[in-house]
């Protein structure tokens, strides 16, 4: 499988376009925990330099990506909890074969440099333990902690014999229950897409690592094909590659690198986005907490949930997710039909 390594900001131009979290769905007010029912606002105004004219431009469309600061329909802990309540039943047998194969896992974990069996490793958002199975090939299971907010996913992990000695706990990726300077390695695969505040989760990764420790975050990449972009923006967070690097560097990590991964049958195609499309690593240069200062957490799961709004968000998110179940099947069929000498 071909992979590409990109280092820091040398290869990628960072984007600075951000909008407030309160805007929700890419138009005003779709925050699940807001005070009012969503109100639609599809336009924004922008002043043209050296001109008195004000130009009206779209804020949400199938051709313009939503900023990461505007959570998608399943990018909340409540929705993600129920999403995985059902998905855990078929996750290892239906989802992983299309998006997160064993060879992809091993390729993605290689930059984590799991070089010592006595390392202390935390697998954040470890779910059913599929990624953890790759970790315990190199590190003793008794030194590995699997953390996830879904008890249903963790129940699957507990059934895996190689993981019997792992510590398995429920927890929040944005508020980790580990002391500062605790672990040698931080691994998180397929979790960031459900974090309401990705920067906070990466800041926590920095905090729990020892000096010289390495974080390895594996996650989705944003599509370029217009229809896939639309469904990605409805479903969950698909960061751009430059956003990953920006989050790591802001948290204080050094030697930040991004490695591209993907299923073999995609033949390197990335236009539809990938549920598991890159492995990003960074090294903690100094002990203690991250130098980055952040405000209060974005999402308070203790706030009451409005059942109708919750159900509507959840239903739309699940429908959007269905597109990404079909994409790997479509790409596999193209791989079987199109000659290897031709692009797909």
Q: Which residue segments constitute the domains of the chain, with CATH numbers given? A: 77-283 (3.40.50.150)
Write down the pTM of the prediction.
0.77
Residue 130 pLDDT level (bands cut at 50, 70, 90): very high
DSSP string, 98-122: HH--HHHHHHHHGGG----TT--EE
Whether residue 111 has pLDDT greater than 80? yes
pLDDT in tens, 182-216: 999 999 999 998 888 999 999 999 999 999 999 99
What are phi and psi for residue 326, nearest 5 degrees? -80, -35
Q: Quick check: 85 and 152 in contact, CB under 8 A?
A: yes
Whether residue 304 has pLDDT greater than 70? no
pLDDT in tens, 35-56: 333 333 333 334 444 444 333 3
Q: How much is the pLDDT for 6?
A: 67
pLDDT in tens, 147-195: 998 898 899 999 999 999 999 999 999 999 999 999 999 999 999 988 8
Pinpoint the alpha helices (H) of the chain: 77-87, 96-99, 102-109, 130-135, 151-158, 198-208, 226-235, 241-251, 307-337
Coil, helix or strand at residue 256? strand
d(Cα 340, Cα 343) in Å, to the nearest integer?
7
Residues sharing a CB contact under 8 Å with residue 315, sequence separation 6 or more, in sequence order = none
Q: How much is the pLDDT for 26?
A: 38
How many other CB atoms are there within 10 angstroms of residue 152's CB atom?
18
pLDDT in tens, 207-262: 999 999 999 999 999 999 999 999 998 888 899 999 999 999 999 999 999 999 99
């Amino acid at each position: 499988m071909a992979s590409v390594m990109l280092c820091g900001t040398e290869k990628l131009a960072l984007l600075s376009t951000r909008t407030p979290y309160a805007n929700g769905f890419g138009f005003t007010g779709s925050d699940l925990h807001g005070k009012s029912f969503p109100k639609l606002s599809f336009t924004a105004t922008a002043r043209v330099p050296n001109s008195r004219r004000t130009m009206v431009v779209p804020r949400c469309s199938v051709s313009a990506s939503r900023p990461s600061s505007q959570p998608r329909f399943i990018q909340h802990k409540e929705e993600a909890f129920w999403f995985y309540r059902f998905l855990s039943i078929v996750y290892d047998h239906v989802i992983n074969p299309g998006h997160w194969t064993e060879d992809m896992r091993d390729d993605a974990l290689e930059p984590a440099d799991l070089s010592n069996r006595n390392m202390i490793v935390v697998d954040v958002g470890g779910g059913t333990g599929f990624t953890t199975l790759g970790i315990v090939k190199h590190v003793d299971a008794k030194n590995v902690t699997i953390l996830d907010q879904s008890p249903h996913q963790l129940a699957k992990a507990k059934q895996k014999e190689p993981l019997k000695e792992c510590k398995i706990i429920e927890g929040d990726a944005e508020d980790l229950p580990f002391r500062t300077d605790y672990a040698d390695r931080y691994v998180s695969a397929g979790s960031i897409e459900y974090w309401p505040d990705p920067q906070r989760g990466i800041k926590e990764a920095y905090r729990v690592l020892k000096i010289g420790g390495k974080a390895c975050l594996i996650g989705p990449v944003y599509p370029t094909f217009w229809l896939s972009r639309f469904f990605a923006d409805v479903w969950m967070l698909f960061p751009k590659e430059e956003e990953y690097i920006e989050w790591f560097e802001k948290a204080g990590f050094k030697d930040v690198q991004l490695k591209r991964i993907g299923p073999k049958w995609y033949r390197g195609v990335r236009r539809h986005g990938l549920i598991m499309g890159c492995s990003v690593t960074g090294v903690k240069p100094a002990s203690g907490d991250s130098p980055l200062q952040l405000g209060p957490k974005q999402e308070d799961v203790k706030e009451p949930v409005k059942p109708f709004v919750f159900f509507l968000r959840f239903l739309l998110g699940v429908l959007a997710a269905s597109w990404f179940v079909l994409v790997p099947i479509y790409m596999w069929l193209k791989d079987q039909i199109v000659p290897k000498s031709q692009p797909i």
